[in-house]
């Protein structure tokens, strides 16, 4: 049987969670005997392009899909926006899809961020009108492409699937394939040694937050929670600002540390680290935090689940799924620093709870290994163009 020629469209070889996701997927697919080529999105170049040039860049990229059996697009709105915003991102993505129709017999798109959907609860009329405009633009320019049987929409969570269906994509053409997990790490037998290896005192209790520092990840909540915790509790922020982003959250973290001098020695900010150095902090962590305000999926959280340390995360839709089968994370109310601090204290003192969280998290990671996720992708690829099973 001839194996399909597959092209992955994604960021590549750059500090980006989706670039890492794509690399992990391609490596796992290769282990299953399925090889992929990559068409890399150059975000640094894209940021220099004018609106017409932006659309042309992606139209040219779609033309290079000729000859492939399946084109798999890793989508994030920031990839297609250049130096502009959501309207331009939708325009560029729609142009890309229009051109892709000419060259790709089968297409899969994994969405890593939420589509525009009106919430209708904004107090500000301007915000509500903007949401409505983006939703209309999305449904008119993009949704028709995803209503075709040779196009498969993939979502890394049930929450994102629901949002895509609400945005207008037919539910029979949307499939959930969860975020893949790194190899589960057994709990560190000697945390003291691990802490010393990254320059931390072995007597400190280390609460770690991993990934790029952005407003939606709730770093300010973790910082405020630290004010409610005893002196031996330290917060380690392993990450820096997104390379292409304009989010001021990282600056806010540094400003908080400058403002609260008595807490300064308990707040450690590493900046961006390569994965092997970040893994050293994972081994040193007593607890991992994900006090996110909103997110569709998170590679950083999967790293935390695999760390061998318990995870405390916000009770948002994307993370609630971690506990559908078992308690893989301790969930708290978003944007509630006192509750987060209380949860950290509880996990630090309750040995049985900590053991249960770690055991369940490692089981979750084994069930969602990249080998399993690769097999799910191979199965999904085989269904493209077939009649839907759920009308």
Token pair, residue 328, equals 């893989």
What is the rounded average pLDDT of the residues 215-220? 94
Token pair, residue 71, equals 């084109």
Number of neighbouring beta carbons within 10 Å of residue 277: 12
Measured CA to CA, the distance from residue 303 to residue 282 in angstroms comes to 8
Cα–Cα distances in angstroms (integers) from residue 284 to residues 101, 129, 195, 236, 357, in the given order: 49, 47, 5, 10, 17
Cα–Cα distances in angstroms (integers) from residue 246 to residues 84, 241, 250, 256, 366, in the given order: 11, 8, 10, 19, 36
Q: Write down the pLDDT at residue 126.
A: 64
Number of neighbouring beta carbons within 10 Å of residue 352: 7
Token pair, residue 81, equals 């926006």
What is the rounded average pLDDT of the residues 153-161? 94
Position 388 pLDDT exceeds 90: no
Q: Write down the pLDDT at residue 243.
A: 82
141 closest CA partner among 115, 118, 120: 115
Token pair, residue 274, equals 């390569």
Residues forming beta bridges with residue 261, ordered by sequence position: none
- CB crowding 17-44: b at 16 or more within 10 Å, else e: bbbbbbebbbebbeeeebebebbebebe
Q: In this predicted model, what pLDDT tens digit does every residue of 318-329 receive, in sequence order?
A: 888 888 878 999
What is the rounded average pLDDT of the residues 372-381? 97
C-alpha neighbours within 13 Å on the C-beta side of residue 343? 27
Q: Write down the pLDDT at residue 341.
A: 98
Measured CA to CA, the distance from residue 150 to residue 33 in angstroms comes to 23
Q: Write down the pLDDT at residue 119.
A: 67
Name the percent of the chain lying above pLDDT 90: 79
What is the rounded average pLDDT of the residues 330-334? 97
CA 212 to chain centre: 10
Q: Write down the pLDDT at residue 391.
A: 45
CA 391 to chain centre: 29
Measured CA to CA, the distance from residue 34 to residue 40 in angstroms comes to 19
The pTM of this model reads 0.91
Residues forming beta bridges with residue 109, ordered by sequence position: 73, 153
Measured CA to CA, the distance from residue 347 to residue 331 in angstroms comes to 12
Q: In this structure, are residues 217 and 314 in contact, taking their beta carbons and an 8 Å threshold?
A: no
Measured CA to CA, the distance from residue 70 to residue 105 in angstroms comes to 7
Q: Write down the pLDDT at residue 275.
A: 84
**Strand duo 106-111 + 233-238: pairing:** unpaired
Position 390 pLDDT exceeds 60: no
Number of neighbouring beta carbons within 10 Å of residue 50: 11
**Lowest mean pLDDT segment, chosen from 168-182, 184-198, 220-234:** 184-198
Mean of per-residue pLDDT scores for the chain: 92
Q: Write down the pLDDT at residue 125.
A: 60
Measured CA to CA, the distance from residue 11 to residue 25 in angstroms comes to 13
Q: In this predicted model, what pLDDT tens digit does every residue of 67-92 receive, in sequence order?
A: 999 999 999 999 999 999 999 999 99
Q: Tell the residue number behind the tokens 């609460």, with chain if given.
A: 207
Q: Write down the pLDDT at residue 352.
A: 97
């Amino acid at each position: 049987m001839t194996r399909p020629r597959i092209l992955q469209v994604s960021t590549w070889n750059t500090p980006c969670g989706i670039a890492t996701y794509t690399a992990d997927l391609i490596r796992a697919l290769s282990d299953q005997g399925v090889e992929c080529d990559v068409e890399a999105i150059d975000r640094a170049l894209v940021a220099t392009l004018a609106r017409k040039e932006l659309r042309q860049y992606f139209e040219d990229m779609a033309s290079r899909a000729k000859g492939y059996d399946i084109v798999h697009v890793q989508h994030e709105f920031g990839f297609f926006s250049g130096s502009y915003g959501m309207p331009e991102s939708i325009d560029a993505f729609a142009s890309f899809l229009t051109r892709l129709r000419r060259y790709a017999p089968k297409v899969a798109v994994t969405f890593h961020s939420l589509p525009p959907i009106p919430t209708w609860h904004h107090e500000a009329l301007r915000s509500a009108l903007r949401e409505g405009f983006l939703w209309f633009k999305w449904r008119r320019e993009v949704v028709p492409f995803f209503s075709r049987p040779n196009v498969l929409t993939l979502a890394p969570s049930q929450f994102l699937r629901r949002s895509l269906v609400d945005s207008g994509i037919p539910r029979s053409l949307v499939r959930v394939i969860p975020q893949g997990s790194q190899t589960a790490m057994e709990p560190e037998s000697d945390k003291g040694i691990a802490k010393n290896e990254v320059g931390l005192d072995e007597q400190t209790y280390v609460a770690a937050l991993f990934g790029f520092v952005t407003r939606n990840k709730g770093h300010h909540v973790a910082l405020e929670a630290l004010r409610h915790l005893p002196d031996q509790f330290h917060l380690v922020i392993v990450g820096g600002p997104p390379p292409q982003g304009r989010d001021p959250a990282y600056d806010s973290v540094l400003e908080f540390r400058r403002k609260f001098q008595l807490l300064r020695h308990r707040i450690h900010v590493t900046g961006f680290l390569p994965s092997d150095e970040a893994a050293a902090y994972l081994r040193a962590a007593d607890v991992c935090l994900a006090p996110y305000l909103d997110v569709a999926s998170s590679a950083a959280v999967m790293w935390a689940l695999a760390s061998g340390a318990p995870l405390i995360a916000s009770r948002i839709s994307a993370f609630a799924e971690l506990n559908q089968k078992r308690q893989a994370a301790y969930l708290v109310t978003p944007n509630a620093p006192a509750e987060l601090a209380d949860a950290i204290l509880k996990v630090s003192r309750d040995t049985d709870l900590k053991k249960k969280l770690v055991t369940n998290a490692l089981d979750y990671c084994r069930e969602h290994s990249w080998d399993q996720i690769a097999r799910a992708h191979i199965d999904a690829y085989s269904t493209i163009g077939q009649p839907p099973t759920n009308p």
